């Protein structure tokens, strides 16, 4: 018997689409909003500001150690909302599926999204599914767009960074990048390279408790830590100085990078924040972050320098200083 697979008609907008929605999506994701079945969802949101963020996920392979494209799609947008200072509330899901996708793989992805959304405290409220012919996409692409409420007074614009502020990274860098690379290339290391893919709700809540002493947060995904630091420096119009030996890198990532000639500072993360915080609050914030399951390996990695030059400088263990640029070219395609 042939396996149950996605057919073009599942994207027709007709009967087969309806069956997919009723039999799969609503089964796993159901909530009062999704169940409205309008052309969209009508949502209750508190008065005030709303953060909105979108991300499309095209990762290959779609299952990897530590996650899958569905978990990644929920975590990615949740983390972006958190980095805007929002409490994530609602997600939409837009899927583009290649004809012939194994229905069981889709089911695992949908279930993974449901579980991740539940843990992160968000509801999937509306969706859309398109199917394209075999060869016109690669298995499945998922867009998630989310909105969240931004509490009064919260302002995480990088322009708020001040001279002397402390820069924290909430854990080992490069884990997601190595996990996907290893899975794709069939590399084996002494330790399994697990993606850090996670929704960082708890860490964001801790940061929020520090009020305006937390200046800004950003999640260092595709371009890695180095690229995000450059974005922050550019947007703040300030230098950031980091110390190479203080940047946390796991032994497996460090070993693989040494072997393969890669730099963990440009490798993707999917469960990390860079947090810029007032120096006076840094140690206390770090301590609390280290008490969370996803923040155990958090470190203070550097500080914000004077306004003027908007660059990132890295100090080597021997005390030499060099410019740490943004990612140039393409490190590892389709990492998220």
Distance of CA 76 to CAs 6, 47, 128, 272, 320, Å? 25, 25, 19, 10, 35
- The nearest distance, CB 107 to its own copies, in angstroms, is 20
Residues 242-257: b if buried by 16+ CB within 10 A, e if exposed: bbbeebbbbebbebbb
Q: State the DSSP string of 183-201.
A: HHHT---SS---------H
Q: For its own copies, give the closer residue by CB, 164 or 333.
A: 333
Cis upstream peptide for 61 (omega within 30°)? yes
* Contact between residue 169 and residue 247 where contact means Cβ atoms under 8 Å apart: yes
CA distance 47 to 150: 10
Q: Minimum distance from CB of 60 to its own copies (Å)?
A: 8
CA distance 145 to 301: 31
Rank residues 39 and 185 by Cβ distance to its own copies and give the closer one: 39
Nearer to its own copies, 2 or 190 (CB): 2
Residue whose CB is less far from its own copies, 80 or 105: 80
Q: Give the pairing of strands 312-315 and 238-243.
A: parallel
* 332 bridge partner residues: none
CB 50 → its own copies: shortest distance, Å? Answer: 5
Helix or strand run (H / E) with residue 323:
strand 321-323
- Residues 190/252, Cβ–Cβ less than 8 Å: yes
Least gap, CB of 168 to its own copies (angstroms):
17
Q: Supply the minimum distance, in Å, between the C-beta of residue 330 and its own copies.
A: 4
Would you say 164 or 325 has its CB closer to its own copies?
Answer: 325
Between CA 155 and CA 332 the distance in angstroms is 33
Give min distance, CB of 283 to its own copies, in A. Answer: 26
Least distance from C-beta 65 to its own copies, angstroms?
22
Cβ–Cβ under 8 Å, residues 199 and 120: yes
- Cβ nearer to its own copies, comparing 160 with 255: 160
Of the candidates 117, 106, 132, the one whose C-alpha atom is nearest the C-alpha of residue 3 is 106
Q: Which CB sits closer to its own copies, 132 or 194? A: 132
């Amino acid at each position: 018997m042939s396996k149950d697979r996605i057919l073009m008609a599942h994207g027709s907008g007709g009967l087969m689409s309806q069956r997919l929605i009723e039999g799969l999506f609503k089964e796993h994701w159901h909530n009062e909003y999704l169940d409205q079945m309008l052309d969209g969802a009508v949502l209750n949101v508190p008065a005030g500001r709303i953060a909105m963020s979108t991300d499309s996920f095209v990762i290959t392979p779609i299952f990897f150690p530590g996650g899958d494209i569905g978990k990644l799609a929920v975590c990615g947008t949740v983390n972006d909302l958190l980095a805007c200072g929002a409490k994530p509330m609602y997600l939409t899901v837009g899927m583009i599926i290649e004809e012939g996708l194994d229905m069981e793989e889709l089911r695992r992805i949908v279930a993974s999204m449901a579980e991740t959304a539940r843990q992160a405290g968000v509801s999937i409220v509306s969706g859309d599914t398109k199917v394209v012919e075999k060869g016109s996409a690669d298995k499945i692409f998922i867009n998630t767009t989310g909105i969240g409420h931004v509490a009064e007074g919260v302002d995480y614009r990088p322009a708020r960074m001040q001279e002397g502020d402390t820069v924290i990274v909430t854990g080992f860098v490069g884990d997601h990048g190595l996990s996907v690379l290893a899975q794709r290339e069939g590399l084996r290391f002494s330790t399994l390279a697990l993606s850090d893919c996670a929704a960082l709700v708890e860490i964001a809540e801790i940061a929020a408790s520090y009020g305006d002493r937390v200046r800004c947060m950003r999640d260092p995904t595709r371009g890695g830590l180095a690229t995000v630091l450059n974005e922050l420096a550019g947007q703040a119009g300030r230098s950031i100085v980091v110390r190479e030996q203080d940047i946390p890198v796991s032994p497996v990532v460090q070993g693989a990078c040494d072997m393969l000639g890669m730099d963990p500072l440009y490798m993707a993360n999917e469960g990390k924040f860079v947090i810029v915080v007032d120096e006076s609050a840094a140690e206390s914030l770090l301590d609390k972050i280290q008490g969370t399951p996803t923040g155990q390996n958090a470190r203070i990695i550097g500080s914000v320098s004077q306004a003027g030059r908007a660059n990132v400088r890295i100090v080597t263990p021997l005390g030499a200083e060099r410019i740490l640029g943004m990612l140039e070219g393409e490190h590892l395609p389709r990492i998220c």
